[in-house]
Amino acid sequence: MSRFAAPIAEQIWDMKYRMKDAQGQPVDATVEDSWRRVARDLASVESDPAFWEDRFYSALSDFRFLPAGRILAGAGTGRAVTLFNCFVMGTIPDNMGGIFDMLKEAALTMQQGGGIGYDFSTIRPKGAEVKGVAADASGPLSFMDVWDSMCRTIMSAGSRRGAMMATMRCDHPDIEAFIEAKQDSARLRMFNLSVLVTDDFMQAVKADGPWDLQFGGRVYQTVQARDLWNRIMRATYDYAEPGVIFIDRINQQNNLSYVETISATNPCGEQPLPPYGACLLGSVNLARLVTDPFTDKARLDDAALDELVRTAIRMMDNVVDASKFPLPQQLAEAQAKRRIGLGVTGLADALLMLGLRYGAPDAVEQTRKWMKAIARSSYLASVDLAKEKGAFPLFDADEYLKSGFMQRMDDDVRAAVREHGIRNALLTSVAPTGTISLYAGNVSSGIEPVFAFAYTRKVLQKDGSRTEEEVVDYAVRMWRDLHGDAPLPDYFVNAQTLAPKDHVAMQAAAQEWVDSSISKTINCPEDISFDEFQDVYLSAWDLGCKGCTTYRPNDVTGSVLSVSEKTEDAPEADQGADVVYLTEPLDRPGALDGATYKLKWPGSEHAIYITINDIVQAGHRRPFEIFINSKNMEHFAWTVALTRMISAVFRRGGNVSFVVEELKAVFDPRGGAWMQGRYVPSILAAIGGVIERHMIETGFLSGEGMGLKSDPKAEVVALGERPRGPACPNCGQYGMHMVEGCMTCPSCAYSKCG
């Protein structure tokens, strides 16, 4: 009998976590083989590997402990990939050489699969004098564009695109440009943006006082703090970015404030990290620890939780020693502090099993108790590890116990830390768990509410046919198993119906006992007023959160597809999307408008000529056919094949921009070439760039990098109310929503963050 609770879980395992050889053939025959591989690798650093391998395997069994995807996919494979999820890079120097050294380090980190964060506040503002070269500075935004281009080029390990977080202090002279940067739909698409908000700024906002924008001791401009705050809020209200990070609170609460200053986070925000800081992630699946669910006896097994947390802490500590690191500075930082981030998933499902409504006062209090229990077990487990293996090298008992977080910790834990030290400087974090939650049977993600109780997805079978598959939330499926078709009780709520204040209350309760931070998205209704929206952020500040990320669906944030087409001539149209999908290819008209482009690949004797002809539908031009020609006979076969295949795709209708992204992602193992100041990884990628430029010029695409990443073929039919949200660019299904700072598909686990 399969260990998987749902077909989608097995598909996620096979696609993302199952070890396969270079030819794509499975090495892990079963998910048990995957668990054994991970357990054996993490136990290999122990003095008694066999004993700990069995303990680790038991923790992984039945999806109770869920190491983050990097660990599941990479541990025990022998591949040169990092098992760490989160990196903040070194401080960017305010000089050209240093800036591009940092760019190189970022590329090397993303190449191994790490998501990175950067603070761009250290770069002088636009227009500032650059001494010695008689020029003005271009400012941090211009260098962020360089990082963005690099990220689009580098393909991270595991076929994942890199994800990046950019932060900027609220007193930087270019902060207003930073706030508005992503309102240009073609700019900084690989970045999440967050403003570093200080305590002084928040006090100035509440007092409606002045606020100096300064750099290097010079005040460039003075604005009203409340006006700047309103600009941040308006941008977030309309565009879902930037987020807000309460940076002073993060540093005040940090156990390591005596040896580090934090000014950036990883891409999803749950890990505030110092320069070259790295952290690995893992989650305890609370939904698997509830006994007698949906009865008066329902409870979470406290003893099982304690044992599982203690085992998970040991496993994650071992990752520090088992993992590779892209840079030696990251290795040194990780070994000096041994930072880990244990969190939870399935929280909302566990609350439902106990009959508690997410966001209600009793659910908030239960969340607080569970998170405190996890914190206690984590810290005591790390103390035990310190007794056995030693404390982290930078441990200083007096300084460590002064932190805001340790001041809240129970006296017995503080006493144990003082007497024996602690193995890991920081231990808890709530990470995005979208993919591993699906892998665990579609449990609720992190501390998020259930997004949708159930929906259907169309699955492509090996014979080319499509079948419909119901994807049901873990707790809902359990309720059905116990109660059949009985209506769901009133306490079953989801992200579509919750009030924003319920989200904030849950985040604040969890944050009290999380020593790092929390990746959490507060879903707001489309019709929320601007004043109510601002109150969400002020409430997050007042209740002690370390940051705030919201998502309000609207015409901007809900727009994934770049072209809107409607035509009465189409044989069939997808009524849920804004593009036309055809059951039969269009007939070719007698005459078409088009353009021919010359592509000269460096080092090649002959140029390639690319002709793209367009058809007009409902007033919009769209590509209809392509011809690729070259005098180089070595190119004949593949240019003919491309001509036929791409033309066939163009004629079938729909949003065919995925062709661009697929071609641009092709890397030539012999190396690419520099063309017009940009590195192009292959001739095929160059052809993709030509097609993209044509699509932009004809209005089919709104900008560079705005094409779909793969062919959208699937369609969602919701059960009851269709999940609110745009179509997924990967599978075409509706319900894309913001989860822990990333636009995420509930069907295929595609994430904008990678």
Catalytic amino acids?
A: 266, 268, 270
Run of H or E residues at 322:
helix 302-322
Pairing mode of beta strands 160-161, 115-119: unpaired
DSSP H helical ranges for 354-444: 361-389, 397-400, 404-408, 411-420, 434-439
HSE, CB side, 13 Å, CA atoms: give it for residue 711: 10
Detail the DSSP E strand segments found in 654-704.
673-675, 678-680
Residues ≥6 apart with Cβ < 8 Å to 644: none
Burial-class residue 188 by CB neighbours within 10 Å (0-12, 13-18, 19+). Answer: buried
Rounded CA gap, 231 and 236, in Å? 9
Rounded CA gap, 141 and 579, in Å? 34
Which of 131, 420, 478 lies closest to 287, judged by CA? 478
**What is the residue whose two structure tokens read 């001539």?**
569
CB atoms within 10 A of CB 568: 7
Asked if 441 and 11 touch (Cβ cutoff 8 Å), the reply is no
Rounded CA gap, 498 and 493, in Å? 7
395 vs 249, 257, 411, 514, CA distance in Å? Answer: 22, 12, 19, 19
Which of 461, 464, 445 lies closest to 745, judged by CA? 445
Rounded CA gap, 482 and 294, in Å? 8
To 10 degrees, the CA torsion angle through 633, 639, 641, 647? -150
Helix (H, G, I), strand (E, B) or coil at 543: coil
